[in-house]
Amino acid sequence: MTDTTEKAAAPPAPGPAVPGPAPAPRTARLWRGATPWLFLLAPLTLLIVFTYAPIANMVAYSFTDWDGVSPELHYTGAGNYTELFTRSDLFEVFWVSGYYLAASVVQIVAALYFATVLSFNVRFRNFFKGVLFFPYLINGVAIGFVFLYFFQDGGTLDSVLSLFGVHTDRAWLGTPASANTSLAAVSVWRYLGLNFVLFLGAIQSIPGELYEAAELDGANRRHQFRHIIAPGIKPVLSLTVILSISGSLSVFEIPYIMTGGATGTETFVIQTVKLAFQFNKTGLASAAAVVLLLIVLAVTWVQRRLVPDDKVDLV
Amino acid sequence: MTRRTVARTLMYASLIAATVVVLLPPAAVVLTSLKSEREMANGSGALALPDDLLNLSNYATAFQDGRMLPAFANTAVILLLAIGGTVLIGSMTAYAIDRFTFRFKKPVVALFLVAALVPGVTTQVATFQIVNSLGMFDSIWAPVVLYMGTDIVSIYIFLQFVRSIPVSLDEAARLDGANAFTIYRRIIFPLLKPAIATVVIVKGITTYNDFYIPFLYMPSEDLGVISTSLFRFKGPFGAHWETISAGAVLVILPTLIVFLFLQRFIYNGFTKGATR
């Protein structure tokens, strides 16, 4: 966007001098030109040192066999990338993301349902709102322990099932399929509240007259949802979709805390952390991280193309 | 029954079901935390009530052996520094970007925007090397600078607010002889209070709950924060679920209290924070 408004403290613009309060002397003008940079000094330094420098280094490491410690490193070309894509055990972690992707579909649908329901007049509305959102605020390690106990043999889930006369001998975290499903369910439990609150905010920002007008025209709840709510929350919905995809690819906490990545629950980030910090394969880990980063950027790019919604830019 | 009553009944049923699903797992943990070792050994189910509802001995064990006090202290220090830094940095960036026109403004803005797209977990392998070479590894400075340095969301929240402050205020102050720093300090910063509240809440909660960064960057036990201390706590207590449960409840409790008091602000904060 172009700056159409003349902002205060505009530095001397090129071309005709801006008519302003008393022409400033040269040093004062220099000082003024430097002012925004003085404000940006700390933020930009942090941004470059802790975001861009790592990205650049990571790309560089990804073409080497560096172990993260020794002063020696050798350029290996695309070797790490070929290893990543040809060794099936390394690539397997991507399938685990599938469980979390499926879980995010469930999560988005449920969040949408509850947000719609609770945006109308419902008894104990604030209580239900609070209950649904609260898990999002809980410490990840605590959640991990709560659910380790939940899925344990003779733990919460088994106790509940036995109330209904179902006695399972299942180790919920015992086989890859059931463990991943359980873990993905935990992530629905944890993150549903965030999506819910985002949707709720978007629905409530839709002016109330729209519903009234629709009701006069004889629209029922389902019509209202399709023609008023759905278009009204489209931007938030598309944001949620990207967050879910990049979230599903970068799952770390819950599986790391609960299973440590055992029984086929290792995710991409767990694998990368292990490669880098346990097996000292910084080069290979970097290549993996570059691949993940590229996937996330690609997803975001596709979403921006599909849903051109440019209320998002900073200026 | 009319169709409408059926629909309403189903709706309430779904809400109650959701409530049970959300509350049951932590409730079972609370119950377990009140049981004695003997009760646990007798194999009463997870949902059985404890014999003594006021048995807090597990909490005492968790608090002492889990080194919770230093963990809370470390967390508090990190919270204070990281939030303070984020507020300062975010508001300065927003002020500079919104109130000045300068060369390279567009590329600078683009740098901040693109950074928002990069998920933090992907770059840690390389960030680690940088933090290490700056000598910040295994000190509280590592999480502090990392939390401060990469928070695009708070910059965005501040930007929204700075934009809503009329430029005429700046101009009036300038005519009175105020320079840019005085304007920032005396006019912009105080008017940003609602934004600061939002950032403090959102940042506070995410920092309190973060596990990844303290786990990677502060391995020594003295530097345990809430998350890492709780994580390490599981080791020595193995299958002593009554003690582990007490530890988990201790960690959740402050969040619950803050949530109950600040509910409305927390919802708003997250809506503003995430829907960039």
Residue A64 backbone dihedrals phi, psi, to 5 degrees? -125, 175
Quick check: A285 and A276 in contact, CB under 8 A? yes
The confidence score (pLDDT) of residue B236 equals: 66
Q: What tokens were used for A189?
A: 């439990």
Percent of chain B with pLDDT over 70: 96
For the segment A155-174, the average pLDDT, to the nearest whole number, is 82
- Within 10 A of A38 (CB to CB), how many other CB atoms are there? 13
Please give the pLDDT value at position A309: 56
Q: What is the mean pLDDT of residues B237-249?
A: 85
**Does residue B249 or residue A89 have the better pLDDT?**
B249
**What pLDDT is stored for residue B77 in this prediction?**
96
DSSP state of A75: B
Q: Where does the pLDDT of residue B45 fall: very low under 50, low under 70, confident under 90, or very high at 90 and above?
A: confident
User: What is the pLDDT at residue A12?
Assistant: 43
DSSP state of B118: S
For A251, the token pair is: 């799952």
Measured at the alpha carbon of residue B140, what is the angle toward residues B134 and B146, in degrees to the nearest 5? Answer: 65
Please report which confidence band the pLDDT of residue A312 belongs to, taking 50, 70 and 90 as the band edges.
very low
The predicted model gives B44-71 an average pLDDT of 83
Element of type H or E holding A104: helix A93-118
Place of tokens 């009463």: B44
- What is the C-alpha separation between B93 and B103, in angstroms, rounded? 15
The answer to which of A78-82, B1-5, B10-14 has the lowest mean pLDDT is B1-5
Q: Which residues make Cβ contacts (< 8 Å) with residue B231, sequence separation at least 6?
A: A141, A257, B211, B215
Tokens of B201: 């809440």
The predicted structure's pLDDT at residue A107: 96
Lowest mean per-residue pLDDT among A3-12, A72-81, A283-292, B134-143: A3-12
Percent of chain A with pLDDT over 90: 35
Q: What is the pLDDT of residues A12-39, one digit of tens each?
A: 444 444 444 555 577 777 777 788 899 9
Condensed to tens digits (0 to 9), the pLDDT of residues A167-222 reads 776 788 888 899 999 999 999 999 999 999 999 988 888 888 888 888 888 877 78
The pLDDT value given to residue A16: 45
Chain A residues whose beta carbon lies within 8 Å of the beta carbon of residue B255: 137-139
Contact A203, A118 (CB under 8 A): no
Residue of chain A whose alpha carbon sits nearest to that of B184: A39
Helix, strand, or coil here: A22?
coil
Give B10's pLDDT tier (boundaries 50, 70, 90). Answer: very high
Residue A304, classified by CB atoms within 10 Å of its CB into exposed (0-12), middle (13-18) or buried (19+), is: middle
The model's confidence at residue A8, banded by pLDDT at 50, 70 and 90, is very low
Question: Which has more confidence, B102 or A69?
Answer: B102
Q: How far is CA A10 from CA A5, A83, A231, B96, B183, in A?
A: 11, 54, 40, 11, 14
Q: Please report residues of B whose CB lies closer than 8 A to that of A110.
A: 18
Q: Where are the alpha helices (DSSP H) in chain B?
A: 3-33, 37-41, 57-65, 68-99, 105-117, 120-133, 141-149, 152-164, 167-175, 180-182, 189-191, 193-209, 212-217, 226-237, 241-274
Q: Which two tokens stand for residue A307?
A: 């849903």
CA of A232 vs chain B CAs: smallest distance (Å): 14
What is the overall mean pLDDT for chain A? 83
Mean pLDDT of chain B: 88
Q: Which residues in chain A have their CB less than 8 angstroms from residue B44's CB?
A: none
CA distances from B255 to A142, A149, A237, B123, B207 (A): 11, 21, 28, 29, 12
Residue-wise pLDDT tens digits, B265-274: 888 888 876 6
Distance from CA of B178 to the nearest CA of A (A): 11
What per-residue confidence (pLDDT) applies to B134?
Answer: 93
Cβ neighbors of A64 (< 8 A, separation 6 or more) are A73, A74, A75, A76, A283
Q: What integer is the mean pLDDT of B98-117? A: 87
Structure confidence at residue A24 (pLDDT):
59
Tell me the C-alpha distance between A68 and A73, whole Å: 9
Residue recorded with tokens 């009319």:
B2
Neighbours of B166 (CB within 10 A): 10
| B18 to A128: CB separation less than 8 angstroms, yes or no | yes
* Residue of chain B nearest A233, judged by CA positions: B275
Q: Give the per-residue pLDDT at A89.
A: 79
Is the per-residue pLDDT at A299 higher than 80? Answer: yes
Q: Provide, as residue numbers in chain A, all residues whose Cβ is less than 8 Å from the Cβ of B3.
A: none
Provide the pLDDT for residue A315.
Answer: 39
For B63-74, b where at least 16 C-beta lie within 10 A, e where not — what string? Answer: beebbbeebbeb
Per-residue pLDDT band for A11 (boundaries 50, 70, 90) equals: very low
- Residue A69's H or E segment, with its range, is none
Tell me the backbone φ, ψ of residue A75, rounded to 5 degrees: -75, 125
Residue labelled with tokens 């059926």 = B6
Asked whether the predicted pLDDT for residue B66 surpasses 90, the reply is no
Rg (CA), chain B: 24
Q: Which range has the top average pLDDT, A103-112, A242-251, B64-73?
A: A103-112
Q: How far apart are CA A63 and CA A287, in angstroms?
A: 7
User: Which residue from A minimizes the CA distance to B231?
Assistant: A141
Q: In the prediction, which pLDDT does B274 show?
A: 61
* Residue B162 contacts residue B145 (beta carbons within 8 Å): no
pLDDT band at A258 (very low <50, low <70, confident <90, very high): very high
Q: Hey, what's the torsion of the CAs at B67, B72, B78, B80, to 10 degrees?
A: -160
Q: Average pLDDT in the B16-41 region?
A: 90
Beta bridge partners of A64: A75
Structure tokens at A145: 């322990």
At residue A234, the pLDDT reads: 84
* B180 to A134: CB separation less than 8 angstroms, yes or no: no
Q: Give the torsion sign (CA, B117, B122, B124, B130).
A: negative
| A262 sits in which H/E element | none
Type of residue at B14:
S
Q: Out of A11-20, A126-135, A283-292, which region has the weakest mean confidence (pLDDT)?
A: A11-20
Q: pLDDT value at position A308?
A: 63
With vertex at residue A155, the alpha carbon angle to CA A154 and CA A156, rounded to the nearest 5 degrees, is 130
Decide if B124 contacts B142 (C-beta within 8 A): no
The letter for the amino acid at B21 is V
Task: State mean pLDDT over B127-149.
Answer: 91
A128/B19 CB distance under 8 A: yes
Mean pLDDT is highest, among A182-196, B2-16, B221-235, for A182-196
Distance CA B195, CA B161 (A): 7
A104 neighbors A248 (Cβ within 8 angstroms): yes
Give the integer Cα–Cα distance in Å for A300 and A78. 25
Which of A121, A141, A161, A277 best tests the B interface by mutation, with the highest count of B CBs <10 A? A141
Q: Which residues of B fall within a CB distance of 8 Å from A152? A: 241
Asked if residue B125 has pLDDT above 80, the reply is yes
